Amino acid sequence: MGRSSTPRAAGTEGVAVDPAVRVGSVSLSNAVMTASGTSGHGDELGRYLDLGALGAVVVKSMMAEPWPGNPAPRLAPVPAGMLNSVGLQGDGIGHWLDRELPDLRAAGATVVASIWGRHVQDYERAAGALQGADPAVVAVEVNLSCPNLDGGKHLFAHDPRAAAEVVEACGAAGLPRWAKLSANTDRVVEVAASVAEAGAEAVTLVNTLLGMVIDPDRAAPVLGSGPAGGGLSGPAIHPVAVRTVFDVHAALPGLPIVGVGGIVDARGAVEMIMAGADAVQVGTASFAEPRTADMVRTGLEHWCSTHGVRAVAELKGCAHG
Ligand code: SIN
């Protein structure tokens, strides 16, 4: 089967499947990664699954310096997902390089370092701190889209020029750059084109959606961030994420995409890849079942095998006809 051809109906006879994919210049053993913010900064998930078996572990976004994050409570479950207002808590990149990256390396993980900042200079410092990092770090994911800073009002991912400026500054890492974007804007295609022009090898689509939960008994927002609300993730946002991947792939077919948002099983990953993603990330589902990313990895290969798809990469963009 060639790229973008239609898989056959499921059969009992499986075919051998090549699970390897590429995201720009980065080769991954398979298409399934953890999503930033859902598996800690280090090897926290390692007690539940073999981190080395995943395509990559994408660590929680870090700044060069330590950052305290937002007041509790920071999580609120909702039907089909959850809201978070963690606010990017972390101990800083120096701590990570010394104390947490070695554990990931020891676990055999391929690592993507996610970074954030409030200003372009913050990103530049964070990227610079990653220069020369252990070769287990294969890419830097530039988080332009966290809704939990300044109430989500000034997201770099909502402005093509500001997003491009950040991505350019992150060249200081000397690593392939993936720009993590937002579906809270109708300009996502424009932003994707702009960050690609600025040097991003790929875009990660999508971060959480701006949301709020109110406690009717207190007549007040549930999360500690109060009127700033939080970011909605989980199955509730899956169709939004698939649509965003579909639209960006349709407009920019040469731009590699990492799809993320509400994937809970192999079918969700297949959908995302058929929409145009090269690889996927699994996040919120890991809070309920920490082995989900690995289950999606094996399930995706099984799905391909029983549908006559000899390489996961062949599924990319199938749904565009
Ligand atoms: C957070 O720490 O607030 C979540 C990070 C994100 O949504 O990018």
Residue 259 host element (H or E): strand 257-260
Q: Is the distance from CB of 56 to CB of 63 less than 8 angstroms? A: no
Decide if 170 is catalytic. Answer: no
Mutate to test the pocket of ligand 1, among 67, 88, 233 (most ligand atoms within 8 A of CB): 88
Residue 278 CA to residue 205 CA, distance in Å, equals 11
Which atom of ligand 1 is nearest to 145's Cα? Answer: 8
Quote the ligand 1 centre to 136 CA distance (angstroms). Answer: 23
Quote the ligand 1 centre to 61 CA distance (angstroms). Answer: 7
Which residue has its alpha carbon closest to ligand 1 atom 5?
A: 146
How crowded is residue 188: how many other Cβ atoms within 10 Å of its Cβ?
A: 24
How crowded is residue 121: how many other Cβ atoms within 10 Å of its Cβ?
A: 11
Q: Is the distance from CB of 179 to CB of 203 less than 8 angstroms? A: yes
SS3 state at 301: helix
Which residue has its alpha carbon closest to ligand 1 atom 2?
A: 88
pLDDT at 12: 63
Class of domain 21-68+90-220+235-320: alpha beta
Mutate to test the pocket of ligand 1, among 82, 84, 116, 178 (most ligand atoms within 8 A of CB): 84
Strand order in the sheet with 209-211: 75-78, 81-84, 230-233, 209-211
Distant-in-sequence, close-in-space partners of 30: CB < 8 Å, separation ≥ 6: 19, 20, 21, 53, 54, 55, 297, 300, 301, 312
Residue 304 CA to residue 164 CA, distance in Å, equals 36
Residue 110 CA to residue 114 CA, distance in Å, equals 13
Tens of each residue's pLDDT in the chain, 321 residues: 444 457 888 876 799 999 999 999 999 999 999 999 999 999 999 999 999 999 999 999 999 999 999 999 999 999 999 999 999 999 999 999 999 999 999 999 999 999 999 999 999 999 999 999 999 999 999 999 999 988 777 799 999 999 999 999 999 999 999 999 999 999 999 999 999 999 999 999 999 999 999 999 999 999 999 999 999 999 999 999 999 999 999 999 999 999 999 999 999 999 999 999 999 999 999 999 999 999 999 999 999 999 999 999 999 999 998
pLDDT at 151: 77
pLDDT at 195: 98
Distant-in-sequence, close-in-space partners of 104: CB < 8 Å, separation ≥ 6: 42, 43, 51, 57, 59, 111, 136
pLDDT at 11: 73
Which residue has its alpha carbon closest to ligand 1 atom 7?
A: 146
SS3 state at 3: coil
- 111-115 vs 57-58, strand pairing mode: parallel
Q: Is the CB of 146 under 6 A from ligand 1?
A: yes
